[in-house]
Chains A and B, each alone.
Chain A
Amino acid sequence: MKKNRHIVIQSISFFTIAMLYLPLFGVAVFSVNSAKYGWVWKEFTLKWYTSLFSNEYILAAAWNTLVLAVVSTLISTLIGTLFAIGISRFPWGRKTDSFLDILLNFPVVIPDIVMAGSLVVVFALLRSVSDLFEAGLVTMIIGHITFQIAFVALVVRSRLVSIGTDIEEAARDLFASNWYLMRRIMLPLLLPGIVAGAMLAFTLSLDDFVISFFTSGPDSQTLPLYIYSAVRRGVTPQIHALSTLVVFITVILVVAAERISRKN
């Protein structure tokens, strides 16, 4: 009887994993198929991949994706880290604490489409003040930072909590000044948390579609946006190749991130 249960659990698990991977696998297979249409296998080819690099729209989209992810990650990591330190290292009252807690969890639970819609409206209002808020990379970066900050701060805060107060008091007891404490103890101990937060922010940026879709302008296509609009014109092997490439990069990032976080 116990054995039966194992088999049931195992077969449901394999079914689920198949459901997660079958479509990605299918796309990957057809990305190296030289047949352009249909359920036929002609021959192995990498031409769809090489053609990606001569498509200037795709190259521009890839560049935009990278700029968006890197810039938003840098800014949100800085702001989020300071925010986490500010929240957990100072004696706020209970009211301030719960306010900050809500502020921190709000971006996590608000539906992305609502956040995106409200950003569209605010950018429209701000546009009357400054050209900076013209829909494009800048507005996308602002949008991404807005949801990244909270995630970075949550990761860094949990690291701060796990460091505890003893270490800090011990350093003080051993005559450390503010600066020395920061440089010699807090920063090195926080660093793994900051790196983990930054990696999370970076992946969140690559993973996002909705915020980008709402806040982008005509010259700020990213890869997910490009794929989305291309699909509506019909599927092509080139899109298979591009999708497979993005999945491949995701796999590398995930494995690297897991390796690093397991080391700590």
Chain B
Amino acid sequence: MKESSILWRGEMTTRRALTGRGMSFLSGGMLWLLGFLILPSLIFIALSFAERGVYGEVIWTFSLENYRRLAGFSSFGWTPDYLLILGRSVIVAFVTTSVAILLSYPLTFFIASRPERSRFMWLVIIIIPFWTNIVIRTYAWFFLFSPEFPFARIAAFLGLIPAGTSLYPSAFAVYVGMISDYLPFLALPLYSSVERLDWSLVEAAQDLYASRIRVFMQAILPQTAPGLTVGIILTFVPTMATFVVPDLLGGAKYMLVGNLIQQQFGASRDWPFGAAISMALMLMTLFSMRIYRRKGKKVDLL
């Protein structure tokens, strides 16, 4: 049977030829992503049900041991340690994202209100930290919080920390590091929406004597929702998983789930447990995103 031809963008061809050609374009990326992303993810899921051998090797049996352990059950009874770390990670991510939102709205409004000539410069000011390696930016806080520096001295003077010690490791240092490291991830996408804001709607709401909160909720928030949603995803996902910031600024006192995973792939060499924690991380991230995305807005990430 002769296959019927179709006209596709002005070219006379057949559906089969077109599919073949399309596939040859897709094949490289598809194979790569399947081989190094999808397949590894599936293996990872399977791995979370495997067990660690004595020498750190993987024993491929089916067991729920890793998840039981994560939930706190061990041969010594129940401890909440791991659950505390998971809970703390959610709280840190949530607080970081929320503070970033609170700071980003004024910041993006400020930039959008600059004259057009200098707006580009202000924008670059946010883009630069966005692209600066996180190790360097975290290291900079680490340096600034060291004992001889004013921050630590003021804190010591106020009696918040013993004299002669640094501000890290502490929850405070972790929060400062997190917020300043991840704020550009929220501010940049938000700016793309704020820039296009239709101010006549805001003015209309103000004319109707709406309170400031109502003006924001009804005129500004809906219009900036697309950028805000992208920003929240770009901030929340990495803050949930980060391990550089808590590692440098939190230490063992303030461990997050990222550190826990890193330990399993580093010193402890317990990959199945690491995989199980990763699964928990993924689930928690997806669940949290659900709450943010309940409004069901479709978002393009770029």
Contact = CB atoms under 8 A, between A and B. Distances in A.
A–B touching in complex (CB under 8 Å) = yes
Interface of A: 8-10, 12-13, 15-17, 19-24, 26-27, 30, 37-39, 78-80, 82-83, 85-87, 89-92, 100, 103, 105-122, 125, 142-143, 145-146, 149-151, 153-155, 158, 165, 168-169, 171-173, 178, 203, 206-210, 214, 223-224, 227-228, 231, 235, 239-240, 243, 246-247, 250-251, 253-255, 258, 262
A26 B146 CA distance: 12
Query: Does more than half of chain B's interface fall in helix, strand or loop, or is it mixed?
Result: helix
A115 to B, nearest CB: 7
A153 B149 CA distance: 46
Contact of A228 (B180, B183, B244, B301): B244
Interface in B82-134: 103-104, 106-107, 109-111, 120, 123-129, 131-134
Interface string B135-156: 1110111111010111000000
B26 A87 contact: yes
A146 B29 CA distance: 9
Query: Does more than half of chain A's interface fall in helix, strand or loop, or is it mixed?
Result: helix
A122 B46 CA distance: 12
Given A109-B233, A154-B302, A117 B144 contact: no
A203 B132 CA distance: 9
B222 interface: no
Given A24-B137, A111-B237, A146 B110 contact: no
B26 A83 contact: yes
Contacts of B244: 209-210, 228
10 contacts: A23-B137, A24-B137, A107-B33, A113-B241, A117-B275, A121-B271, A224-B133, A251-B128, A254-B127, A262-B120
B55 interface: no
A91 B135 contact: no
Most buried by B among A38, A85, A121, A208: A121
Interface residues of B, number: 87
A115 B43 CA distance: 12
A262 B121 CA distance: 13
